[in-house]
Amino acid sequence: METYTLITGASGGIGYELAKVFAEKKHNLVLVARNIDKLSSLKDSLEKQYKVKAEIIEKDLIPEKAAVELYEEVEKRKLIIDILVNNAGFGDYAGFLDSNWEKQRNMVDLNITALMHMTYIFGNDMKKRGYGRILNLSSVAAFSAGPYMPIYYATKGFVLSFSEAVAEELKGTGVAVTALCPGPTLTGFESAAEMKNSKMFTAFGAARAKDVADCGYQALMKGKAVQYHGLPTRLMNIGSRLFTRRVTRKFAKSINGVPEK
């Protein structure tokens, strides 16, 4: 039976570029996002250019039962998912006490809970079949506390730790888990998070989403537990080992900058 790669947050940014990379490598796709029009356009483009099959599912993964509902839809269509890409996520740029509570809670639900649930549901199927790959999108933010983006940094730290632990647990099963840690990337994230006062995207320069996607694909297929991309990520990884947390969080604060109220 034919197998499929399921990508969440596929309508833009790194998810969009990952969809193109997987299609180029002749993977059939299940593309998931909230914007059905963008998904439809991507489906048509990939099927025409790369001659692969692409299924699209309109789904907001924040609600509690969303992962189960998505799994049930995949089962209904009789699709076998042998690769899962947990790309969906978002950030916010504000002091915690000045932020919108619902937005912060939704960030945790999407960046952490949905990713966990998807990994659990589809990972169990992969383990039973004896083969699978799971790519979880972490970030340079995983290596430090992040003043003015505290929840985003914390969620990405969770994704890295969680992915590494599950990767170790699954050794010898045929299933591999990879945490991809890109630095600042041109995806529209910076404008969505209204990061006008942040040096994050100017101090080191921002990577192209396509380059991050290529890097992530290669690491995933090699079964690497962690993959860094970009100079900022490598420097923060080293810095988090050489310096105290006080130093790294103050550095992150200076890079993030103080948002306008």
Q: What is the predicted pLDDT for the residue at 105?
A: 98
CB atoms within 10 A of CB 1: 5
Provide the angle, in degrees to the nearest 10, between the axes of the packed helices 245-256 and 231-242.
150
> Most distant CA pair in the chain: distance in Å?
54
Q: What is the predicted pLDDT for the residue at 130?
A: 97
Q: What is the predicted pLDDT for the residue at 96?
A: 95
- The domain made up of 3-256 has a fold known as Rossmann fold (3.40.50)
Burial class (CB within 10 angstroms; exposed 0-12, middle 13-18, buried 19+) of 185: buried
Provide the angle, in degrees to the nearest 10, between the axes of the packed helices 13-24 and 209-222.
60
Name 40's Cβ contacts closer than 8 Å, sequence gap at least 6: 56
Active-site residue, selected from the candidate residues 16, 71, 93, 152: 152
Is 152 one of the annotated active-site residues of the chain?
yes
CA 22, chain centre distance (Å): 15
The span from the CA of 29 to the CA of 151, in Å, is 31
Q: What is the predicted pLDDT for the residue at 146?
A: 85
Q: Residue 129 has which token pair? A: 């079949």
Rg over alpha carbons for the chain, rounded to the nearest Å, is 18
pLDDT in tens for each of the 261 residues of the chain? Answer: 799 999 999 999 999 999 999 999 999 999 999 999 999 999 999 999 999 999 999 999 999 999 999 999 999 999 999 999 999 999 999 999 999 999 999 999 999 999 999 999 999 999 999 999 999 999 989 888 889 999 999 999 999 999 999 999 999 999 999 999 998 887 766 555 556 556 666 666 678 999 999 999 999 999 999 999 877 677 766 777 776 878 877 877 777 777 776
Domain definitions of the chain by residue range:
3-256
Please tell me the pTM assigned to this model: 0.90
Q: What is the predicted pLDDT for the residue at 254?
A: 74
Q: What is the predicted pLDDT for the residue at 250?
A: 80
Q: What is the predicted pLDDT for the residue at 8?
A: 98
The span from the CA of 209 to the CA of 188, in Å, is 10
